[in-house]
Structure 1
């Protein structure tokens, strides 16, 4: 069972990402610094897509974001350096709404099954609780990457 504090940490991390996305100039969000293969925007959108894959898809549930967004930002994708204002605002909205939906869906026991999965970090997720905890670690790693990217762009 997830603790309220764990969801609080998730929500604060999402608010931090939302602030970066909405307060950083678009050209900085989309710029890929020399020596890097992605940008700030891709890292932020990737956290939204990955949360849906790890928690909803592995639980055999319909993801709550468009499949096109998942396909564009899933693991193994690379940014093309472009994004519409509409897409960026959609990602900003999903940063918060997907966190809210997860808490709601967890509290109403929506997650009944789970397809065991071993991540590229060699962590085996056996249930939705494992997926939620691992997703928090994953988002923290990307927040660190975003901080590094922002320093390169300063």
Structure 2
């Protein structure tokens, strides 16, 4: 016959209650408020995202600040990534003329392996948090040649 101490039974009870509380919190009507910011199989240009590469997954989360009146270098991302603009405004551009305007609170599922840049034509710094789903040891962004000849937004 197995005997449990009061401590073990109390601890087990706490684990069960906590587990039920967590499960309850994620159900509709629970105390947590969950808002889906983005969910898609396509990037912002409407094209399907590529499959995930093989290898050890590595998640990178960056906070990027683009000063007012500045733009990012021409670049491409080698992995699937998505971001949320925390403040300011940002316009992302492709070389073939597509663009998407973001304001604070907007989310973006980024382009993969397609050259693009972001421009902050607002009056305050744009701040974005970007989540990259990459492979350990691989770069998530590749800077391309300067795009001085690219049209300003």
Shorter-chain TM-score bucket reads under 0.3
Q: Which has the larger radius of gyration?
A: 2
Q: Which has the higher helix share?
A: 1
Q: Which has the higher strand share?
A: 2
| Higher relative contact order (Cα pairs below 8 Å, separated by 6+ residues) | 1
Task: Give the TM-score normalised by the residue count of structure 2.
Answer: 0.25
